[in-house]
Chain A
Amino acid sequence: MSSFTKSAQQWATFARSWYLIDARMQPPGKIATMCSVRLQGKHKPIYHALSDVGDHVVVMNTRHIAFSGNKWEQKVYSSHTGYPGSFKQVTAAQLHHKDPKAIVKLAVYGMLPKNLARRTMMRRLHLFPDDVLPEEILTNLSEELPQPRDIPRTLSEYTQEEMESFPRLFTP
Protein backbone atom coordinates (compact mmCIF):
# COMPACT_ATOMS: atom_id res chain seq x y z
CA MET A 1 0.00 0.00 0.00
CA SER A 2 1.38 3.40 -0.94
CA SER A 3 0.23 5.12 2.28
CA PHE A 4 2.49 3.02 4.59
CA THR A 5 6.19 3.61 5.17
CA LYS A 6 8.58 0.92 3.94
CA SER A 7 9.55 -0.05 7.50
CA ALA A 8 5.90 -0.41 8.58
CA GLN A 9 5.19 -2.57 5.51
CA GLN A 10 8.22 -4.75 6.35
CA TRP A 11 7.08 -5.20 9.97
CA ALA A 12 3.55 -6.08 8.91
CA THR A 13 4.63 -8.78 6.44
CA PHE A 14 7.40 -10.47 8.41
CA ALA A 15 6.25 -10.12 12.04
CA ARG A 16 5.45 -13.32 13.88
CA SER A 17 1.88 -13.03 15.28
CA TRP A 18 0.22 -14.91 18.12
CA TYR A 19 -3.13 -16.62 17.49
CA LEU A 20 -5.59 -17.86 20.13
CA ILE A 21 -7.94 -20.85 19.65
CA ASP A 22 -10.59 -21.95 22.15
CA ALA A 23 -10.88 -25.74 21.97
CA ARG A 24 -14.01 -26.05 24.16
CA MET A 25 -16.43 -28.66 22.67
CA GLN A 26 -14.33 -28.80 19.48
CA PRO A 27 -12.94 -31.92 17.75
CA PRO A 28 -9.16 -32.04 18.31
CA GLY A 29 -8.47 -32.95 14.66
CA LYS A 30 -10.03 -29.75 13.32
CA ILE A 31 -8.20 -27.67 15.94
CA ALA A 32 -4.96 -29.40 14.92
CA THR A 33 -5.40 -28.61 11.20
CA MET A 34 -5.93 -24.92 12.01
CA CYS A 35 -2.85 -24.97 14.26
CA SER A 36 -0.61 -26.76 11.74
CA VAL A 37 -1.56 -24.34 8.92
CA ARG A 38 -0.58 -21.36 11.03
CA LEU A 39 2.52 -22.94 12.57
CA GLN A 40 3.94 -23.67 9.12
CA GLY A 41 3.03 -20.22 7.84
CA LYS A 42 0.85 -21.57 5.02
CA HIS A 43 -1.73 -18.83 5.65
CA LYS A 44 0.78 -16.20 4.46
CA PRO A 45 1.48 -15.34 0.79
CA ILE A 46 5.21 -15.11 1.61
CA TYR A 47 5.35 -18.80 2.63
CA HIS A 48 8.41 -20.89 1.90
CA ALA A 49 9.30 -24.13 3.71
CA LEU A 50 12.85 -22.97 4.47
CA SER A 51 11.94 -19.41 5.45
CA ASP A 52 10.62 -20.06 8.98
CA VAL A 53 7.54 -17.84 8.59
CA GLY A 54 5.34 -19.72 11.08
CA ASP A 55 3.39 -17.96 13.82
CA HIS A 56 2.70 -18.79 17.45
CA VAL A 57 -0.57 -20.54 18.27
CA VAL A 58 -2.09 -20.69 21.77
CA VAL A 59 -4.80 -23.32 22.36
CA MET A 60 -6.83 -23.03 25.55
CA ASN A 61 -9.43 -25.36 27.15
CA THR A 62 -7.78 -28.50 25.77
CA ARG A 63 -9.31 -30.37 28.72
CA HIS A 64 -12.81 -29.71 27.27
CA ILE A 65 -12.20 -31.21 23.88
CA ALA A 66 -15.05 -33.20 22.24
CA PHE A 67 -14.49 -36.33 20.17
CA SER A 68 -17.16 -37.40 17.67
CA GLY A 69 -18.45 -40.96 17.77
CA ASN A 70 -17.04 -43.40 20.33
CA LYS A 71 -13.43 -42.30 19.81
CA TRP A 72 -12.85 -41.71 23.52
CA GLU A 73 -13.12 -45.49 23.96
CA GLN A 74 -12.00 -46.73 20.54
CA LYS A 75 -9.02 -44.51 19.65
CA VAL A 76 -5.77 -46.02 20.89
CA TYR A 77 -2.46 -44.18 21.27
CA SER A 78 0.55 -46.53 21.13
CA SER A 79 4.14 -45.95 22.15
CA HIS A 80 7.31 -48.02 22.31
CA THR A 81 10.51 -46.93 24.02
CA GLY A 82 12.61 -49.46 22.06
CA TYR A 83 13.22 -51.77 24.99
CA PRO A 84 11.57 -55.22 24.83
CA GLY A 85 8.23 -55.45 26.64
CA SER A 86 7.62 -51.68 26.65
CA PHE A 87 4.85 -51.49 24.09
CA LYS A 88 2.11 -49.43 25.69
CA GLN A 89 -1.36 -48.91 24.27
CA VAL A 90 -3.59 -46.37 25.95
CA THR A 91 -7.14 -45.30 25.01
CA ALA A 92 -7.86 -41.65 24.34
CA ALA A 93 -9.87 -41.37 27.58
CA GLN A 94 -7.01 -42.74 29.70
CA LEU A 95 -4.43 -40.53 27.97
CA HIS A 96 -6.64 -37.45 28.42
CA HIS A 97 -7.03 -38.24 32.12
CA LYS A 98 -3.24 -38.53 32.53
CA ASP A 99 -2.39 -35.45 30.46
CA PRO A 100 -5.17 -33.17 29.08
CA LYS A 101 -2.81 -31.53 26.55
CA ALA A 102 -1.45 -34.75 25.02
CA ILE A 103 -4.23 -35.43 22.50
CA VAL A 104 -4.01 -32.01 20.83
CA LYS A 105 -0.21 -32.13 20.95
CA LEU A 106 -0.04 -35.51 19.24
CA ALA A 107 -2.61 -34.44 16.65
CA VAL A 108 -0.67 -31.31 15.71
CA TYR A 109 2.63 -33.22 15.71
CA GLY A 110 1.24 -35.72 13.23
CA MET A 111 -0.07 -32.99 10.93
CA LEU A 112 3.15 -30.98 10.64
CA PRO A 113 5.66 -31.86 7.86
CA LYS A 114 8.03 -34.62 8.94
CA ASN A 115 11.25 -32.63 8.81
CA LEU A 116 13.66 -30.97 11.22
CA ALA A 117 11.55 -27.78 11.32
CA ARG A 118 8.74 -29.72 13.04
CA ARG A 119 10.35 -29.45 16.47
CA THR A 120 10.75 -25.66 16.20
CA MET A 121 7.10 -25.38 15.10
CA MET A 122 6.00 -27.46 18.11
CA ARG A 123 7.94 -25.09 20.36
CA ARG A 124 5.77 -22.28 18.99
CA LEU A 125 2.58 -24.18 19.91
CA HIS A 126 1.34 -23.36 23.43
CA LEU A 127 -1.31 -25.59 24.99
CA PHE A 128 -3.29 -24.83 28.13
CA PRO A 129 -5.81 -27.26 29.64
CA ASP A 130 -8.05 -24.47 31.04
CA ASP A 131 -8.73 -20.87 30.09
CA VAL A 132 -6.18 -19.50 32.56
CA LEU A 133 -3.36 -18.02 30.49
CA PRO A 134 -0.15 -16.52 31.87
CA GLU A 135 0.46 -12.75 31.60
CA GLU A 136 3.28 -12.94 29.06
CA ILE A 137 1.13 -14.84 26.57
CA LEU A 138 -1.94 -12.65 27.11
CA THR A 139 0.06 -9.55 26.19
CA ASN A 140 1.36 -11.16 23.01
CA LEU A 141 -1.98 -12.36 21.58
CA SER A 142 -3.14 -10.58 18.44
CA GLU A 143 -6.11 -12.50 17.04
CA GLU A 144 -8.65 -15.11 18.13
CA LEU A 145 -9.63 -17.63 15.46
CA PRO A 146 -13.28 -18.71 15.07
CA GLN A 147 -14.20 -22.18 16.32
CA PRO A 148 -14.49 -24.83 13.58
CA ARG A 149 -17.61 -26.53 14.99
CA ASP A 150 -20.90 -24.88 16.04
CA ILE A 151 -21.70 -25.93 19.59
CA PRO A 152 -25.33 -27.19 19.81
CA ARG A 153 -27.54 -25.69 22.53
CA THR A 154 -28.70 -27.85 25.41
CA LEU A 155 -32.38 -27.89 26.35
CA SER A 156 -31.71 -25.78 29.45
CA GLU A 157 -30.17 -23.02 27.30
CA TYR A 158 -33.40 -22.35 25.44
CA THR A 159 -35.59 -19.56 26.89
CA GLN A 160 -39.13 -20.28 28.07
CA GLU A 161 -40.58 -18.25 25.14
CA GLU A 162 -38.64 -20.28 22.58
CA MET A 163 -39.83 -23.54 24.13
CA GLU A 164 -43.46 -22.33 24.17
CA SER A 165 -43.42 -20.94 20.64
CA PHE A 166 -42.19 -24.30 19.28
CA PRO A 167 -45.36 -26.09 18.02
CA ARG A 168 -46.57 -29.28 19.71
CA LEU A 169 -46.31 -32.10 17.17
CA PHE A 170 -48.96 -34.30 18.74
CA THR A 171 -51.45 -34.10 21.58
CA PRO A 172 -51.35 -37.04 23.99
Chain B
Amino acid sequence: MHNEPAMDYDSCDMRAISACTLSIPGTGSKQRGEVIENQEGNTTTIQGIAEDICTTGPQPPNPTAQCPIYRWNLQNRYNYTDVLLLSQFIRSDGGMLPRRVTGLCTEEHKKIVICVQMAQRAGLLPDHKPKLPEGHVQKKVKPQLNRYLTRWSVKSVKPIYKTGLKWCKKRMVVGHPAMQNNERYGVKPLYLKH
Protein backbone atom coordinates (compact mmCIF):
# COMPACT_ATOMS: atom_id res chain seq x y z
CA MET B 1 0.00 0.00 0.00
CA HIS B 2 3.02 2.33 0.48
CA ASN B 3 4.59 3.93 -2.60
CA GLU B 4 8.15 2.96 -3.61
CA PRO B 5 10.03 6.23 -4.24
CA ALA B 6 12.97 6.74 -6.64
CA MET B 7 16.45 6.74 -5.03
CA ASP B 8 17.81 10.25 -4.57
CA TYR B 9 21.49 10.77 -3.63
CA ASP B 10 21.58 14.58 -3.66
CA SER B 11 20.82 15.44 -0.02
CA CYS B 12 22.31 14.06 3.20
CA ASP B 13 19.38 14.74 5.49
CA MET B 14 15.92 13.36 6.26
CA ARG B 15 13.24 14.13 3.66
CA ALA B 16 9.61 13.12 3.26
CA ILE B 17 9.18 11.75 -0.25
CA SER B 18 5.46 11.20 -0.40
CA ALA B 19 2.47 11.20 1.90
CA CYS B 20 -1.04 9.89 1.52
CA THR B 21 -4.16 9.46 3.61
CA LEU B 22 -5.77 6.03 3.52
CA SER B 23 -8.95 4.89 5.13
CA ILE B 24 -9.07 1.25 6.23
CA PRO B 25 -12.38 -0.20 5.05
CA GLY B 26 -14.38 -2.06 7.63
CA THR B 27 -12.86 -0.43 10.68
CA GLY B 28 -13.64 3.17 9.61
CA SER B 29 -10.32 4.44 10.96
CA LYS B 30 -7.91 6.58 8.96
CA GLN B 31 -4.14 6.41 8.72
CA ARG B 32 -1.72 9.00 7.40
CA GLY B 33 1.18 7.23 5.64
CA GLU B 34 4.51 9.00 5.13
CA VAL B 35 7.65 7.75 3.40
CA ILE B 36 10.79 9.35 4.89
CA GLU B 37 14.25 8.98 3.39
CA ASN B 38 17.29 9.15 5.72
CA GLN B 39 20.79 9.37 4.28
CA GLU B 40 23.90 8.98 6.53
CA GLY B 41 27.08 8.83 4.49
CA ASN B 42 26.93 5.74 2.26
CA THR B 43 23.73 4.19 3.65
CA THR B 44 20.21 5.37 2.67
CA THR B 45 17.37 4.34 4.95
CA ILE B 46 13.83 4.53 3.61
CA GLN B 47 11.14 4.34 6.28
CA GLY B 48 7.43 4.04 5.90
CA ILE B 49 5.50 5.37 8.90
CA ALA B 50 1.79 4.94 9.37
CA GLU B 51 0.06 7.18 11.92
CA ASP B 52 -3.52 6.91 13.00
CA ILE B 53 -5.57 10.08 12.48
CA CYS B 54 -8.46 10.56 14.85
CA THR B 55 -11.19 12.07 12.63
CA THR B 56 -12.90 14.17 15.25
CA GLY B 57 -15.01 17.06 14.08
CA PRO B 58 -18.34 17.17 12.27
CA GLN B 59 -19.27 14.01 10.37
CA PRO B 60 -21.28 14.11 7.11
CA PRO B 61 -24.99 13.49 7.75
CA ASN B 62 -25.25 11.24 4.67
CA PRO B 63 -22.00 9.22 4.57
CA THR B 64 -23.17 6.65 2.00
CA ALA B 65 -23.39 9.10 -0.93
CA GLN B 66 -20.73 9.25 -3.65
CA CYS B 67 -20.44 13.02 -4.14
CA PRO B 68 -19.17 15.14 -1.17
CA ILE B 69 -21.97 17.67 -1.67
CA TYR B 70 -24.63 14.98 -1.40
CA ARG B 71 -22.83 13.57 1.64
CA TRP B 72 -23.28 16.89 3.45
CA ASN B 73 -26.79 17.54 2.01
CA LEU B 74 -25.66 20.77 0.38
CA GLN B 75 -27.19 20.09 -3.06
CA ASN B 76 -29.22 23.13 -4.28
CA ARG B 77 -28.21 25.03 -1.13
CA TYR B 78 -25.01 26.88 -2.05
CA ASN B 79 -24.36 30.04 -4.05
CA TYR B 80 -21.44 32.08 -5.37
CA THR B 81 -21.21 33.85 -1.97
CA ASP B 82 -20.35 30.62 -0.04
CA VAL B 83 -16.64 31.17 -0.41
CA LEU B 84 -15.65 28.83 2.45
CA LEU B 85 -17.22 25.96 0.50
CA LEU B 86 -15.89 26.94 -2.93
CA SER B 87 -12.32 27.54 -1.72
CA GLN B 88 -12.02 23.82 -0.83
CA PHE B 89 -12.27 22.88 -4.51
CA ILE B 90 -9.75 25.33 -5.97
CA ARG B 91 -5.96 25.46 -6.12
CA SER B 92 -3.99 28.39 -4.76
CA ASP B 93 -3.74 30.02 -8.21
CA GLY B 94 -7.51 29.89 -8.73
CA GLY B 95 -7.74 26.78 -10.93
CA MET B 96 -10.24 24.00 -10.18
CA LEU B 97 -9.19 20.62 -8.79
CA PRO B 98 -10.01 17.73 -11.14
CA ARG B 99 -13.12 15.63 -10.58
CA ARG B 100 -11.14 12.47 -9.88
CA VAL B 101 -9.48 14.21 -6.91
CA THR B 102 -12.52 15.90 -5.43
CA GLY B 103 -14.91 13.03 -6.10
CA LEU B 104 -17.75 15.33 -7.22
CA CYS B 105 -20.47 14.13 -9.53
CA THR B 106 -20.73 15.73 -12.98
CA GLU B 107 -23.56 18.21 -12.37
CA GLU B 108 -22.20 19.41 -9.03
CA HIS B 109 -18.71 19.83 -10.50
CA LYS B 110 -20.16 22.03 -13.25
CA LYS B 111 -22.17 24.06 -10.71
CA ILE B 112 -19.08 24.54 -8.55
CA VAL B 113 -17.10 25.68 -11.60
CA ILE B 114 -19.81 28.24 -12.43
CA CYS B 115 -19.98 29.50 -8.81
CA VAL B 116 -16.18 29.76 -8.58
CA GLN B 117 -16.10 31.78 -11.82
CA MET B 118 -18.80 34.14 -10.50
CA ALA B 119 -17.00 34.49 -7.16
CA GLN B 120 -13.67 35.28 -8.87
CA ARG B 121 -15.29 37.89 -11.10
CA ALA B 122 -16.97 39.41 -8.02
CA GLY B 123 -13.57 39.61 -6.29
CA LEU B 124 -14.50 37.29 -3.41
CA LEU B 125 -11.34 35.18 -3.85
CA PRO B 126 -8.56 37.79 -3.77
CA ASP B 127 -5.73 35.41 -2.79
CA HIS B 128 -6.45 32.78 -5.45
CA LYS B 129 -4.99 34.65 -8.40
CA PRO B 130 -2.35 33.29 -10.85
CA LYS B 131 1.18 34.31 -9.91
CA LEU B 132 2.69 36.91 -12.21
CA PRO B 133 6.38 36.56 -13.09
CA GLU B 134 8.73 38.65 -10.93
CA GLY B 135 9.26 42.21 -11.98
CA HIS B 136 6.11 42.22 -14.12
CA VAL B 137 4.85 45.80 -14.45
CA GLN B 138 1.32 46.33 -15.71
CA LYS B 139 1.33 48.87 -18.51
CA LYS B 140 -2.41 49.60 -18.64
CA VAL B 141 -4.21 50.28 -15.35
CA LYS B 142 -7.42 48.24 -15.47
CA PRO B 143 -10.54 50.02 -14.13
CA GLN B 144 -11.71 48.58 -10.80
CA LEU B 145 -15.39 47.94 -11.49
CA ASN B 146 -17.46 46.12 -8.88
CA ARG B 147 -19.66 43.37 -10.26
CA TYR B 148 -21.57 40.30 -9.06
CA LEU B 149 -23.44 37.36 -10.67
CA THR B 150 -21.49 37.78 -13.94
CA ARG B 151 -22.20 34.87 -16.27
CA TRP B 152 -19.82 35.71 -19.09
CA SER B 153 -16.15 36.63 -18.90
CA VAL B 154 -15.50 40.36 -18.96
CA LYS B 155 -13.42 40.44 -22.14
CA SER B 156 -15.82 38.29 -24.19
CA VAL B 157 -18.94 40.48 -23.92
CA LYS B 158 -19.96 43.02 -26.55
CA PRO B 159 -22.14 46.07 -25.85
CA ILE B 160 -25.81 45.86 -26.82
CA TYR B 161 -26.10 48.86 -29.13
CA LYS B 162 -29.64 48.03 -30.30
CA THR B 163 -31.77 46.49 -27.57
CA GLY B 164 -34.80 45.96 -29.84
CA LEU B 165 -38.52 46.40 -29.28
CA LYS B 166 -40.37 45.01 -26.27
CA TRP B 167 -41.38 41.73 -27.95
CA CYS B 168 -37.83 40.97 -29.18
CA LYS B 169 -35.66 42.69 -26.59
CA LYS B 170 -32.00 41.63 -26.20
CA ARG B 171 -31.82 41.11 -22.45
CA MET B 172 -28.73 41.45 -20.29
CA VAL B 173 -28.30 38.13 -18.47
CA VAL B 174 -27.55 37.90 -14.78
CA GLY B 175 -26.54 34.79 -12.79
CA HIS B 176 -26.68 31.32 -14.33
CA PRO B 177 -29.56 28.91 -15.09
CA ALA B 178 -27.67 26.15 -13.23
CA MET B 179 -28.79 27.89 -10.04
CA GLN B 180 -32.44 27.60 -11.09
CA ASN B 181 -33.09 24.70 -8.71
CA ASN B 182 -31.57 26.36 -5.65
CA GLU B 183 -33.72 26.56 -2.53
CA ARG B 184 -35.57 29.85 -2.36
CA TYR B 185 -37.45 30.96 0.71
CA GLY B 186 -39.42 33.68 -1.09
CA VAL B 187 -42.18 33.47 -3.70
CA LYS B 188 -40.28 35.39 -6.42
CA PRO B 189 -38.64 33.22 -9.13
CA LEU B 190 -34.98 33.59 -10.07
CA TYR B 191 -34.73 36.72 -12.22
CA LEU B 192 -32.09 35.94 -14.85
CA LYS B 193 -32.93 38.19 -17.82
CA HIS B 194 -32.66 41.83 -16.78
Q: Is the CB of A74 within 8 A of B172?
A: yes
Asked if B123 is at the interface (CB within 8 A of a chain A CB), the reply is yes
Q: Is the CB of A74 within 8 A of B157?
A: yes
Q: How far does the alpha carbon of A158 sit from the alpha carbon of B159 in the complex, in Å?
A: 36
Q: Is the CB of A69 within 8 A of B71?
A: no
B8 to chain A: closest CB distance in Å? 24
Q: C-beta contact mask, B106-132 vs A, less than 8 Å → 1, else 0?
A: 000000000000000011111110000
A31 to chain B: closest CB distance in Å? 13
B184 to chain A: closest CB distance in Å? 15
Interface contact tally, CB-CB below 8 A = 115
For chain A, residues 113 to 168, give those with C-beta under 8 angstroms from any C-beta of chain B: 152-156, 158, 162-163, 166-168
Q: Is the CB of B146 within 8 A of A66?
A: yes
Known A-B contacts A75-B160, A76-B159, A169-B68; A153 and B83 likewise in contact (beta carbons under 8 Å): yes
Q: Across the interface, name the chain B residue whose C-beta is closest to A172.
A: B101
Known A-B contacts A97-B143, A153-B83, A155-B126; A170 and B194 likewise in contact (beta carbons under 8 Å): no
The B interface is mostly helix, strand or loop, or mixed, namely: loop
Q: Name the contact of B152 in the complex, choosing from A67, A70, A167 (C-beta under 8 A).
A: A70
Asked if B26 is at the interface (CB within 8 A of a chain A CB), the reply is no
Q: Is the CB of B88 within 8 A of A69?
A: no
A17 to chain B: closest CB distance in Å? 29
Q: Is the CB of A70 within 8 A of B124?
A: no
Q: Is the CB of B172 within 8 A of A169?
A: no
B160 to chain A: closest CB distance in Å? 5
Q: Across the interface, name the chain A residue whose C-beta is closest to B128.
A: A155
Asked if A93 is at the interface (CB within 8 A of a chain B CB), the reply is yes
Q: Is the CB of A69 within 8 A of B173?
A: yes
Interface extent on A, as a size class?
A: 20 to 34
Q: Which residues of A contact B123 (CB under 8 A)?
A: 154
Asked if B147 is at the interface (CB within 8 A of a chain A CB), the reply is yes
Asked if A9 is at the interface (CB within 8 A of a chain B CB), the reply is no
Q: Name the contact of A152 in the complex, choosing from B69, B122, B127, B154 (C-beta under 8 A).
A: B122
Q: Is the CB of A162 within 8 A of B84?
A: yes
Q: Which residues of B contact A167 (CB under 8 A)?
A: 57-58, 60, 72
Q: How far does the alpha carbon of A140 sit from the alpha carbon of B97 in the complex, in Å?
A: 54
Q: Is the CB of A155 within 8 A of B125?
A: yes
B interface, CB within 8 angstroms of A? 21, 30, 57-58, 60, 68-69, 71-72, 80-81, 83-85, 87-89, 97, 101-103, 122-128, 143, 145-152, 154, 157-161, 163, 172-175, 194
What 20 new A-B contacts, CB under 8 Å, besides A73-B159, A170-B68?
A66-B146, A69-B147, A69-B149, A69-B173, A69-B174, A69-B175, A72-B154, A76-B163, A152-B81, A154-B123, A154-B126, A155-B87, A155-B125, A155-B126, A163-B84, A166-B84, A167-B58, A169-B69, A169-B85, A170-B103
Q: What are the 10 A-B residue pairs with the smallest beta carbon separation, nearest first?
A: A69-B174, A66-B146, A152-B81, A169-B68, A73-B157, A170-B68, A70-B157, A166-B84, A167-B58, A68-B174
A interface, CB within 8 angstroms of B? 25, 64-76, 89, 91, 93, 96-97, 152-156, 158, 162-163, 166-172
